[in-house]
């Protein structure tokens, strides 16, 4: 049997596409195409109806104002973790304070970007709101379950010592590290009181009758780190005020921030540093990254 020529193959394909003798297109007549189209029309209508139905049922189970899993049932299990900034990159937690201007600029830009919404929120608040929030902050008033609008974080006080103008301390070898507590819906902190018997030794001196807040402290992880860390000061205070808890999706809510400024830290030594949050209902677990945050710091700026 002879092999079909190229022209014959083309003619056969064209005849398959449209056969004028039989009146077919791709081997099917008009009735066949109509039946096939009707079948797929019904098929996709049923498929779309099934999809819409499942989505509708799913939406009936979703509460747009409250997460379905809270407390111990949530992913964080009612125990907040901590974060810090500037984060060098995803591969390392070493903050290196050097003479390299490019590195300093990257740290400054990162912190400025993080603080941008806080600056905007504080600037939008009128003087009455600012004064009321400062007063509430001083009195350690809780946000309350009925609060619909959150107080803005006092940006002016937060950035009084650590700000973009002084490069957040990176140019003079006294870096400011921004600390943040992860938000958990409905979680209410239980701060330590002076008469509590279970106050951790490292924060006993900071607990006073009017210091009701989530205390924080940054310290060296090893004896050599403790001896070399120098002095750590906190701005605007050594902890997170109760004013911002519990988080209930208040309008304009921004998590409170604290700057930890490292002063007189030993140079040319890589230090391992851990910052912890302290409250009765915060369990610190380094492995699970709960209640604390770890990073390294190396100051080799001349």
- Give the global pTM: 0.75
Domain map of the chain by residue range? 6-60, 80-299
Is the pLDDT score of 27 beyond 90? no
Residue 36 banded pLDDT, cuts 50, 70, 90: confident
Residue 12 banded pLDDT, cuts 50, 70, 90: confident
Burial 19-47 (b: 16+ CB within 10 A, else e): eeeeebeeeeeeeeeeeeeeeeeeeeeee
* Architecture per CATH, 80-299: Sandwich (2.60)
For residues 170 and 97, is the Cβ–Cβ distance under 8 A? Answer: yes
84, HSE (Cβ side, Cα atoms, 13 Å): 30
Residue 282 CA to its chain's centroid (Å):
18
Is the pLDDT score of 142 beyond 60? no
Which of 66-70, 88-92, 142-146, 151-155 tops mean pLDDT?
Answer: 151-155
Residue 156 banded pLDDT, cuts 50, 70, 90: very high
Is the pLDDT score of 145 beyond 50? no
pLDDT digits (tens, 9 = 90+) for 253-286: 999 999 999 999 999 999 999 999 999 988 887 7
Residue 28 banded pLDDT, cuts 50, 70, 90: confident
Q: Nearest to residue 277, comparing CAs of 234, 243, 225, 247?
A: 234
pLDDT at 47: 95
Burial 122-131 (b: 16+ CB within 10 A, else e): beebeeeebe
Residue 9 banded pLDDT, cuts 50, 70, 90: confident
Residue 297 banded pLDDT, cuts 50, 70, 90: very high
Among 1-10, 135-144, 192-201, 243-252, the range scoring the smallest mean pLDDT is 135-144
Q: Percent of the chain, pLDDT > 90?
A: 44
pLDDT digits (tens, 9 = 90+) for 62-120: 776 666 666 666 665 678 889 999 987 767 789 999 888 999 999 999 999 999 999 99
Is the pLDDT score of 137 beyond 80? no
pLDDT digits (tens, 9 = 90+) for 160-203: 999 999 999 999 999 999 999 988 888 889 998 888 888 888 88
Q: Nearest to residue 276, comparing CAs of 300, 297, 292?
A: 292
């Amino acid at each position: 049997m002879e092999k079909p020529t190229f022209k014959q193959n083309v003619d056969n394909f064209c005849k398959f596409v449209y056969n004028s003798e039989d009146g077919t297109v791709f081997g099917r007549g008009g009735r066949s195409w109509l039946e096939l189209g009707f079948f797929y029309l019904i098929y996709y209508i049923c498929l779309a109806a099934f999809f819409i139905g499942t989505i509708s049922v799913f939406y009936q189970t979703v509460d747009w104002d409250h997460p379905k899993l809270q407390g111990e049932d949530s992913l964080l299990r009612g125990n907040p973790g901590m974060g810090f900034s500037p984060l060098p990159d995803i591969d390392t937690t070493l903050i290196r304070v050097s003479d390299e201007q490019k590195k300093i600029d990257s740290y400054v830009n990162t912190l400025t970007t993080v603080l941008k919404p806080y600056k905007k929120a504080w600037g939008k608040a009128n003087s009455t709101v600012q004064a009321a929030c400062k007063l509430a902050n001083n009195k350690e008033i809780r946000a309350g379950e009925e609060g619909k609008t959150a107080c803005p974080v006092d940006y002016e006080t937060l950035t009084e010592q650590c700000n973009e103008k002084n490069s957040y301390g990176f140019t003079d070898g006294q870096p400011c590290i921004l600390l943040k507590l992860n938000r958990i819906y409905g979680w209410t902190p239980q701060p330590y009181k002076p008469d509590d018997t279970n106050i951790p030794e490292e924060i006993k001196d900071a607990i006073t009758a009017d210091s009701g807040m989530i205390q924080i402290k940054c310290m060296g992880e090893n004896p050599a780190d403790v001896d070399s860390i120098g002095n750590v000061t906190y701005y605007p205070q050594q902890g997170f005020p109760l004013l911002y808890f519990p988080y209930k999706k208040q309008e304009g809510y921004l998590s409170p921030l604290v700057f930890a400024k490292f002063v007189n830290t030993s140079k040319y030594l890589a230090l391992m540093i851990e910052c912890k949050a302290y409250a009765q209902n915060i369990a610190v677990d380094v492995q699970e990254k709960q209640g604390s945050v770890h990073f390294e710091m190396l100051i080799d700026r001349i």
